[in-house]
């Protein structure tokens, strides 16, 4: 019960900070939002993109899921939460930056690499993380003798690249990228060191963001 009290107290502070006194931010935001960036992040409790980038309400349009994964473009089948968020962010809000934010010690990618934890049932997780199966195959091909931890780390970074590839299967994303209206970014947050890495597509490797 203490946990929910912490959340309620947090909301009280939020209300005081953003709606108390002469705060004007929500005075503007209630007219509408125009974030310049959209972030595809993991549901992991340790990697809140707004906290990591010290953002205020209105700064980022965000979709979070297990593994920070973007499925390929396809219109049939079931309900498409990530694709809907992408359409809203890109086509309705017109964001100029799309950031795929991976991270270390990702439980979703760990499941992709090494299977669901023993004793756990999965109706959805395994099928979902298989979006990044190409990343797993690349890692197993390129570093078959690496430790499980090294393979998971490499797969976390490779999965970001798979999501970037999948973003370009959406015709309205590809078109905007080609016209220079939209820039894709692949970032990776290292929980151990606190560093953020950014994928450099020219060098073909991750480099420190700072
Ligand atoms: Zn994760």
- Which residues does the chain have with pLDDT short of 50? none
Rounded distance from Cα 104 to ligand 1 centre (Å): 7
Report the separation in Å between the CA atom of 196 and the middle of ligand 1, taken as the mean of its atom positions. 15
Show me where the domains of the chain are located.
1-32, 34-208
Q: Under CATH, what is the fold of the domain 34-208?
A: Beta-carbonic Anhydrase; Chain A (3.40.1050)
Half-sphere exposure of 120 (CA within 13 A, CB side): 11
The whole-model pTM stands at: 0.96
Please tell me the distance between residue 101's alpha carbon and the centre of ligand 1 in angstroms.
Answer: 9
- For residue 19, report the distance from its CA to the centre of ligand 1, in Å: 32
- pLDDT value at position 1? 56
Q: What is the pLDDT of residues 7-30, one digit of tens each?
A: 999 999 999 999 987 788 998 999
Cβ-based neighbours of 8, under 8 Å, separated by 6 or more? none
């Amino acid at each position: 019960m203490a946990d929910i009290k912490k959340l309620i107290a947090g909301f009280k502070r939020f209300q005081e900070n953003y709606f108390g006194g002469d705060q004007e931010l929500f005075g503007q935001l209630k007219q509408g939002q125009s974030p310049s960036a959209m972030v595809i992040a993991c549901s992991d409790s340790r990697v809140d993109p707004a906290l990591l980038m010290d953002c205020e309400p209105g700064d980022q349009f965000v979709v979070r899921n297990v593994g920070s994964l973007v499925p390929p473009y396809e219109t049939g089948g079931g309900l498409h939460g990530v694709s809907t968020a992408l359409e809203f962010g890109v086509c309705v809000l017109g964001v100029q930056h799309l950031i795929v934010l991976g991270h270390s010690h990702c439980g979703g990618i760990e499941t992709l690499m090494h299977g669901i934890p023993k004793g756990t049932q999965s109706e959805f997780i395994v099928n979902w993380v298989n979006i990044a199966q190409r990343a797993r195959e690349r890692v197993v091909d390129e570093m078959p003798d690496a430790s499980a931890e090294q393979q998971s780390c490499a797969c976390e970074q490779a999965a970001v690249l798979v999501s970037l590839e999948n973003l370009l299967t959406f015709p309205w994303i590809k078109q905007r990228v080609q016209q220079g209206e939209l820039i894709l970014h692949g970032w990776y947050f290292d929980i151990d060191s606190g560093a953020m890495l950014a994928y450099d597509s020219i060098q073909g490797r991750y480099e420190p963001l700072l």
